[in-house]
Chains A and B, each alone.
Chain A
């Protein structure tokens, strides 16, 4: 095998179709962005500073947590710890896509990671479980989600006062419902169900007893342990003579 060959080919049409597929979700991201923009200016961030933060950081939950710690002075280390803890799931998400990402050049590989969010990752990871390789959703979906996050923040900064309570409309549950739908749409077999059960118990235990924001990583690693010791029985090589 030649080490400098990257066989994954991006299809422009598929990037466009993934962008369109993520468009409905991105409308909700606009609403979250607006909620963030409003919260940020209320905490004393300037309009441009709020928009810059959304543009560069592009990780909603950690941004909300950081501005919660905002004041005339901000303690740097606690902010770093909280941002790292909340975003540490990116470490696992990136690692889980590595079997596909190794087939694109390092520049594209790390470029794609700039656009990684829960929603586009969930689609890509779910499709990979079903044997499809989809980096286009990271690119196209990530772009539309990023723009939605920036536009939403801008709206919230300048027109946030007009925002009704989005929670009363159930808007805060869009992402949770989306991720649940992705999980249940994926492959389900005894091995996966045991992993989920362990992940659920571990994440709840971590949420209750471990430091804040560690529950996602704790639960995911616990679920991963099931996979580490319980290997899937891959169907034998298809060319081999399988009993019919």
Chain B
């Protein structure tokens, strides 16, 4: 099934994309409203939550260029050393810019 990108067609596509995204925004909350939150479920969603971040970042590091890798490594080291997010992020961005400029 294809939609022609006339004005109506584009509007339809935007609406379809919005609805699909809405399902993902509402779905997790909706399902959880039927789940009794036992300590085990709570433990699951807590470790899952921090794992979401790792699962976004690690492939980003492996798939990215040297600049991406430098940005993440510098941010990681800075965050562990000084424990302040904004300076750590700034250092990471600078590292990416630096590496991409010189290499």
Interchain CB contact under 8 A, A177 and B72: yes
Q: Which of A66, A184, A195 meets B17, CB within 8 Å?
A: A66
The residue of chain A having its C-beta at the shortest distance from the C-beta of B18 within the complex is: A56
**A240 contacts B by Cβ under 8 Å:** no
Prevailing SS type, chain A contact patch: helix
Interchain CB contact under 8 A, B28 and A93: yes
Interchain CB contact under 8 A, B5 and A227: no
In A189-244, which residues have CB < 8 Å from any B CB?
191-192, 195-196, 198-200, 202-204, 207, 215-228, 230-232, 234
Number of residues in A with C-beta < 8 Å to the partner? 101
Q: Tell whether A191 pairs with B47 under 8 Å between CB atoms, given A92-B52, A95-B28, A199-B55.
A: yes
In A65-91, which residues have CB < 8 Å from any B CB?
66, 70-77, 79-80, 83-84, 87-91
Interchain CB contact under 8 A, B68 and A183: no
Which one of A84, A96, A178, A204 has the greatest number of beta carbons of chain B within 10 Å? A96
Interchain CB contact under 8 A, A224 and B44: yes
Knowing that A49-B14, A195-B47, A221-B51 are A-B contacts, what are 8 other residue pairs whose CB atoms are under 8 Å apart, sorted by A's residue number?
Answer: A49-B11, A71-B5, A180-B72, A185-B79, A186-B50, A192-B47, A219-B59, A220-B51
Q: Which A residues have a C-beta under 8 Å from some C-beta of B?
A: 24, 44-46, 49, 52-53, 56-59, 62-63, 66, 70-77, 79-80, 83-84, 87-99, 101-102, 109-110, 113-114, 116, 118, 122, 125-126, 128-129, 167-174, 176-187, 191-192, 195-196, 198-200, 202-204, 207, 215-228, 230-232, 234
